[in-house]
C-alpha cells in the first residue's frame, strides 16, 4: 500500500500591477486638475471681459482671450519677439549663474568659518533688506553699459536667497557626520567634499528655486527702467502706447519663462538628489 504525498503549491504573490495603476491614476488626476484650474481661470477671464463686467474690479478695459490670442499669433511671426526672448534669457542666465556660484560659496564660507562670518555677515545683513531694483541708480553709476547694470541687478536679487539657504543648510548638518569622517582620518577637505556639499544639496536647490523667481522679477523691472530690448522693455513700451493685448502677451510670456526656468532648476535638483529618501506621491 502506497501513500501519495502531495506538496502544497507555494502561494502566489499578488502582482504589483494594481499598485502601479493606482499610482499612474493618481498622477493623471493631478495633471487633469492642474489643466482644469488653468482652463477655469481662462474661462472666467473670457466671461468677465466679453460682458464688460464692472464689479469691484473693472474688466471692461481688458482684452478678451480672442484679442490676446490674435496678438500673440501676430507677435510669434516677428523677429523682434524672439530677439526679446533671447535678450531676457541671456540676462537671467548670466545673472543667475553668477549668483549661484557666489551665493553657494559665500554661504558655505560664512557657515563654516567663524572669522569669515564675523567679517562678511554684518555687511551682507545690512545690504540684504535693500530691494535689488533699488540698486538701479547705483548700477547706472557703476557700469558703463545698461546691459552690465541689468545683469548686476539680477545677480544681486538671486544672490541673497541662495546664500541664506546655503548657510542654513550647512548649519543644519548633523555634527555626527563630520565627526565620523574625522575619526576615519579625514581632514577639512574630505569633510567639505563628502559631508558638507552632498548634505546641503536639498537646501541649496530650494534657494536656487527661490532665487530664480526673484531674479525674474528684478530683470523684468530693470528692463522696464533702463533696457533697450527684452520682454520687460517690450511690455512697458506696449503699455505706454495703450496696446493692452500686447501687455497681456508680454505678461504671459514672462510667466511662461519664469515657470520653465524654475521647473528646470527643480528638475535638476531632483536628479542630483535622487539618492535621498522620498515620500510616496511626492513627485510632480
Q: What is the pLDDT of residues 218-246, one digit of tens each?
A: 999 888 887 778 999 999 999 999 899 99
Distance in angstroms (rounded) separating the CA atoms of residues 73 and 6: 76
**Overall size of the chain counted in residues:** 284
pTM of the prediction?
A: 0.82
Q: Please report the pLDDT score of residue 41 as a whole number.
A: 92
Q: How many CA atoms lie within 13 A of 16 on its CB side?
A: 2
Q: Please report the pLDDT score of residue 29 as a whole number.
A: 87
pLDDT band, very low/low/confident/very high, at 6 (cuts 50, 70, 90):
low
Helix and strand numbers (H, E) in the chain are: 12, 0
Q: Please report the pLDDT score of residue 131 as a whole number.
A: 87
* Cross-strand pairs, 58: 54
162, 207 Cβ separation under 8 angstroms: yes
Summary mean pLDDT of the chain? 86
Q: In which element (H, E) is residue 196 found?
A: none
Amino acid at each position: 500500500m502506497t501513500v501519495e504525498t502531495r506538496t502544497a503549491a507555494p502561494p502566489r504573490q499578488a502582482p504589483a500591477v494594481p499598485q502601479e495603476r493606482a499610482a499612474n491614476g493618481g498622477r493623471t488626476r493631478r495633471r487633469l486638475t492642474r489643466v482644469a484650474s488653468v482652463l477655469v481661470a481662462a474661462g472666467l477671464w473670457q466671461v468677465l471681459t466679453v460682458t464688460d463686467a464692472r464689479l469691484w474690479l473693472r474688466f471692461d478695459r481688458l482684452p478678451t482671450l480672442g484679442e490676446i490670442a490674435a496678438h500673440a499669433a501676430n507677435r510669434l511671426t516677428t523677429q523682434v519677439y524672439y530677439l526679446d526672448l533671447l535678450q531676457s534669457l541671456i540676462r537671467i542666465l548670466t545673472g543667475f549663474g553668477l549668483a549661484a556660484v557666489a551665493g553657494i560659496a559665500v554661504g558655505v564660507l560664512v557657515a563654516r568659518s567663524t572669522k569669515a562670518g564675523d567679517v562678511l555677515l554684518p555687511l551682507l545683513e545690512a545690504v540684504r533688506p535693500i530691494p535689488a531694483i533699488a540698486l538701479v541708480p547705483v548700477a547706472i553709476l557703476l557700469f558703463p553699459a545698461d546691459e552690465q547694470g541689468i545683469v548686476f541687478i539680477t545677480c544681486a536679487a538671486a544672490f541673497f536667497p541662495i546664500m541664506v539657504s546655503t548657510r542654513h543648510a550647512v548649519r543644519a548638518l548633523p555634527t555626527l557626520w563630520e565627526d565620523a569622517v574625522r575619526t576615519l582620518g579625514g581632514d577639512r577637505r574630505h569633510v567639505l567634499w563628502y559631508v558638507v556639499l552632498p548634505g546641503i544639496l536639498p537646501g541649496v536647490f530650494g534657494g536656487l528655486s527661490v532665487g530664480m523667481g526673484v531674479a525674474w522679477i528684478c530683470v523684468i523691472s530693470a528692463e522696464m527702467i533702463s533696457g533697450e530690448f527684452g520682454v520687460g522693455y517690450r511690455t512697458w513700451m506696449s503699455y505706454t502706447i495703450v496696446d493692452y493685448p500686447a501687455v497681456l502677451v508680454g505678461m504671459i510670456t514672462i510667466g511662461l519663462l519664469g515657470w520653465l526656468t524654475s521647473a528646470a532648476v527643480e528638475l535638476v535638483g531632483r536628479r542630483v538628489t535622487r539618492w535621498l529618501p522620498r515620500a510616496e506621491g511626492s513627485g510632480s
